[in-house]
């Protein structure tokens, strides 16, 4: 078993007193690097602060950029935004006497209502210009899993007891070790059982004179695999590492009247039919994406003599993608995204997609029931055709949803009455109708109240 870094774990809601103002602290003698990693599956973006100064924010499975700070005593704070509130809510704090030339990582886990902070620390690594190695350590942030073995080797090396580079329980991180720059496969198994594999990466390239904190998380609804891994780099860059045994999926939606009923293939010879007779406003099932395919090809239903639209296949695996066909004759297009459908504990999500081809820009209103929109600002302004809008955070309650042309107050779709609870996801597309002056809303989840 590999030696594990000492960690400091405390109840994150405990406020530790005795931290003076920065002006009263001793003189700094050096700096350390600090970052936070969000391992709360039900959180939205969390903010990381040193005292009252924000030094980054991170969604689940992500981390903040490492930030250098003087070797003094600080209180580090963690905040989240709750829909319906006017300011961020502080949910955890942690004191730390920072030592120079260290790398500190705060792992924020549990839930926002009952968080824990685990501190990983190690020496800052300085490379010589001639070094041909990189440094890597491994961390376990998969709350649903027990003790795990981590194997890190050439693709030809089969995991076997005794070859593991770390054996970790949730919240633990291994010491950093040097590896020759090159290609490696990460395999994670149940501890002591190399045949019980929970994650396998493809062969990934790791560069000389860099450091990697390779961390496993539980997958969420945006992932196809139960385990998701991310490598956090020394300067703040990150690389998502998918499980090769869980391909991406694709869901197709036809939002173009002019495209018409289509067949969709994933090979240039048009022999591998994936979706048949995909008509206007049809929503397909989620389909596995073939690793070897490069494009999806739309043809008129039953006719392989013409390719009416090509859509690239995403190169990154392990995610749930959606492709929306849009546009008018002569300018057909496709938009591919990963809709953020994972529920959070701070609000409901509104995910609007502007798919109208008749209106280039739209405003979206969400108001209390029966409220007139004349004196209300839109929740989303100037949504461009084919544009993916960031999720909007909603407090629990009942709302009326309206759509207007941008800067206008004439309703061209709605009202649609929706009722949401915390954790709900209202996933919708604004679409054309046979009347070019009127729009409709297609709800994929969280539709109007009957």
Tell me if 111 sits within 8 A of 33, measured CB to CB.
Answer: no
pLDDT at residue 142, rounded to an integer = 98
**Average pLDDT for residues 425-437, to the nearest whole number?**
97
Tell me if 376 sits within 8 A of 402, measured CB to CB.
Answer: no
pLDDT at residue 14, rounded to an integer = 35
Tell me if 433 sits within 8 A of 440, measured CB to CB.
Answer: yes
Dist. CA 42–CA 63, nearest whole Å: 15
> Does the structure show a pLDDT above 80 at 18?
no
Question: Domains of the chain, with CATH numbers?
Answer: 8-123 (2.60.40), 133-241 (2.60.40), 249-337 (no CATH), 348-445 (2.60.40.1120)
User: Model confidence at 292, in pLDDT bands (50, 70, 90)?
Assistant: confident
**Average pLDDT for residues 136-152, to the nearest whole number?**
98
- Which residues make Cβ contacts (< 8 Å) with residue 418, sequence separation at least 6? 398, 399, 401, 426, 446, 447, 448, 449
pLDDT at residue 387, rounded to an integer = 87
Task: Quickly tell me which residue has 């902070």 as its tokens.
Answer: 117
> Does the structure show a pLDDT above 80 at 200?
yes
pLDDT at residue 388, rounded to an integer = 86
pLDDT tens digits, 103-123? 999 999 999 999 999 999 999
pLDDT tens digits, 78-98? 999 999 999 999 999 999 999
Q: Report long-range pairs for 192-197 (Cβ below 8 Å, ≥24 apart).
A: 192/149, 192/161, 193/149, 194/149, 194/151, 194/158, 194/159, 194/160, 194/161, 194/164, 197/159
User: Model confidence at 309, in pLDDT bands (50, 70, 90)?
Assistant: very high
Tell me if 405 sits within 8 A of 361, measured CB to CB.
Answer: yes
Residue 258: count of CB within 10 angstroms of its CB = 16
Identify the residue with better confidence: 76 or 16. 76
Instruction: Give percent of the chain above pLDDT 90.
Output: 89
Q: How far is residue 398 CA from its own chain's centroid?
A: 28
pLDDT at residue 26, rounded to an integer = 72
pLDDT tens digits, 354-398? 999 999 999 999 999 999 999 999 999 999 999 888 899 999 999
Tell me if 421 sits within 8 A of 344, measured CB to CB.
Answer: no
Where residue 397 falls (left for φ over 0; alpha for ψ -120 to 50; beta otherwise) is left
pLDDT tens digits, 50-61? 999 999 999 999
pLDDT tens digits, 210-239? 999 999 999 999 999 999 999 999 877 889
pLDDT at residue 24, rounded to an integer = 52
Token pair for 160: 């076997």
> Does the structure show a pLDDT above 90 at 290?
no
C-alpha dist (Å) from residue 398 to 213, 289, 394 = 44, 38, 10
pLDDT tens digits, 356-365? 999 999 999 9
> Does the structure show a pLDDT above 90 at 442?
yes
pLDDT at residue 368, rounded to an integer = 97
C-alpha dist (Å) from residue 353 to 27, 254, 279, 403, 444 = 53, 13, 19, 12, 11
- Measuring CA to CA, which residue among 88, 86, 85, 84 is closest to residue 366? 84
> Does the structure show a pLDDT above 80 at 5?
no
pLDDT at residue 291, rounded to an integer = 78
Q: Report the SS3 class of residue 337.
A: strand
pLDDT tens digits, 334-357? 999 999 999 999 999 999 999 999
User: Model confidence at 315, in pLDDT bands (50, 70, 90)?
Assistant: confident
pLDDT at residue 17, rounded to an integer = 36
Mean pLDDT of the chain: 93
Dist. CA 119–CA 193, nearest whole Å: 28
Dist. CA 154–CA 405, nearest whole Å: 57
């Amino acid at each position: 078993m590999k030696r594990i870094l000492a960690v400091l774990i405390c109840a994150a809601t405990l406020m530790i007193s005795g931290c003076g103002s920065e002006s009263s602290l001793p003189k700094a003698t050096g700096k350390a690097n600090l970052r936070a990693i969000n391992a709360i599956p039900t959180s939205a973006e969390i903010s990381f602060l040193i005292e009252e100064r924000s030094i980054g924010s991170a969604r689940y499975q992500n981390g903040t950029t490492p930030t250098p700070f003087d070797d003094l005593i600080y209180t580090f704070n963690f905040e989240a935004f709750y829909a319906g509130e006017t300011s961020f809510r502080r949910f955890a704090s942690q004191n730390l006497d920072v030592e120079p030339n260290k790398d500190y990582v705060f792992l924020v886990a549990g839930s926002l209502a009952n968080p824990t902070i685990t501190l990983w620390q190690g020496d800052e690594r300085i490379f010589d210009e001639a070094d041909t190695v990189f440094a890597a350590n491994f961390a376990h942030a998969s709350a649903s899993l027990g003790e795990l073995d981590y194997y890190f080797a050439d693709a030809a090396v089969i995991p076997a007891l005794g070859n593991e580079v770390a054996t970790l329980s949730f919240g633990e991180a291994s010491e950093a070790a040097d590896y020759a720059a090159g290609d490696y496969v990460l395999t994670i198994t149940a501890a002591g059982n190399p045949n019980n594999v929970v994650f396998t990466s493809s062969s990934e390239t790791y560069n000389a004179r860099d450091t990697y904190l390779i961390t496993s998380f539980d997958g969420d609804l945006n992932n196809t695999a139960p385990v998701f891994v991310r490598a956090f780099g020394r300067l703040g860059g990150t690389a998502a590492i998918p499980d090769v045994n869980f391909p991406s999926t694709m869901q197709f939606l036809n939002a173009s009247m002019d495209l018409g009923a289509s067949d969709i293939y994933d090979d240039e010879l048009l022999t591998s039919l994936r979706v048949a007779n995909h008509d206007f406003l049809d929503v397909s099932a989620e389909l596995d994406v073939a690793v070897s395919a490069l494009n999806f090809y739309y043809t008129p239903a039953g006719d392989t003599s013409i390719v009416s639209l090509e859509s690239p296949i995403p190169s990154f695996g392990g995610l749930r993608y959606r492709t929306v066909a849009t546009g008018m004759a002569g300018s057909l297009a496709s938009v591919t995204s990963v809709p953020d459908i994972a529920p959070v504990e701070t609000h409901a999500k509104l995910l609007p997609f502007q798919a109208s081809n008749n209106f280039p820009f739209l405003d979206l209103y969400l108001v209390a029931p029966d409220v007139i929109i004349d004196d209300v600002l839109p929740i989303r302004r100037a949504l461009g055709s084919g544009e993916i809008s960031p999720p909007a955070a909603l407090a629990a309650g009942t709302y009326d949803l309206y759509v207007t042309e941008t800067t206008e107050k004439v309703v061209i779709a709605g009202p649609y009455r929706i009722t949401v609870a915390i954790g709900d996801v209202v996933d919708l597309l604004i679409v054309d109708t046979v009347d070019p002056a009127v729009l409709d809303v297609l709800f994929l989840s969280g539709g109007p109240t009957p």
